[in-house]
Amino acid sequence: MLTDAQQVVRRNAIVRILRDGLVRKQEDLVHMLKREGHEVTQSSISRDLRDLGVLKASGRYVLPPDEIGRAQGDSGIDIGASARPPAEELPAASSSGFQGLAGPRGTADDLKKLPGVSGAIEKKFNDLGIFHFWQLAELDHDTAHKIGEELGLPSRADAWVAKAKALTAEAE
């Protein structure tokens, strides 16, 4: 049986791995954690994912906004730094710096108000963690273009950002 400290270290490792967006199956997460030296089983991972509030979106596991507090457990102390470093080098975080949300904060905005956005495109935005105009209004040109490419509509990205800025300003 794991001590509380070992469980916190394992959960911090799970949070770090999921932030990189690499996990599509629990089995993959089990293998990654075992390579790092953690004692895990499929059932322990299922419990950890449930306790961390992890969701599955766009075929991959995503973290809720409050993942840090949950990973730290009752102790409130992040002891993950004491864990030995991973055996393999992980890819760098997205250069865009964009981090989608696990779900809307309050009521989601009607993204269909953006030019050329249908219900299907709005669903794709949601799958990327975009639920609000303010998220788009804060994007720089390059990041917006990358998101547009992700949706298959890069030429519309600048128009989406401009309209999102206008709608955000109206709401204030």
Global pTM reads: 0.47
Residue pair 128/153 in contact (Cβ under 8 Å)? The answer is no
Which residue numbers in the chain have pLDDT < 70? 1-2, 21-22, 65-97
pLDDT at 120: 92
pLDDT at 76: 45
pLDDT at 83: 43
